[in-house]
């Protein structure tokens, strides 16, 4: 395997791993509390939070940090694969 082929194969894997690790580290820093705008709507203006009918495709998995990490990782990988596919198709066109 040539150096260019190795870089072309390994670089996307490294980028996905960096994105997943970043998500797992920074995802724990997200706050569960509403921001100032939401607080003002709920407390001052007495606006109730709307109840949604669609819970999402991952709702059967439940809730928790492990599910959040799994779903986030799947999302990162899917977005990366779609981006690579788009870039590949655009490069092939030229």
Place of tokens 């990162």: 76
Q: What is the pLDDT of residues 15-50, one digit of tens each?
A: 888 888 887 777 777 767 767 787 788 888 888 877
Place of tokens 């590949």: 88
Place of tokens 């490069």: 91
More confident residue, 8 or 60: 60
DSSP 53-89: S---TTGGG--SHHHHHHHHHHHHHHHHHHHHHHHHH
Q: What is the pLDDT of residues 45-89, one digit of tens each?
A: 888 877 778 888 888 888 888 888 888 888 888 988 898 888 888
Element (H, E) at 22: helix 3-27
CB 26 within 8 A of CB 20: no
């Amino acid at each position: 395997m040539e150096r260019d082929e190795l870089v072309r194969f390994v670089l996307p894997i490294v980028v996905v791993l960096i994105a997943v690790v970043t998500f797992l580290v920074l995802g724990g820093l997200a706050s569960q509390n509403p921001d100032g705008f939401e607080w003002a709507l709920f407390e001052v203006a007495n606006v109730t939070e709307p109840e949604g009918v669609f819970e999402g495709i991952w709702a059967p998995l439940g809730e928790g940090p492990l599910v959040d990490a799994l779903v986030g990782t799947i999302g990162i990988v899917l977005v990366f694969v779609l981006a690579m596919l788009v870039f590949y198709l655009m490069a092939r066109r030229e």
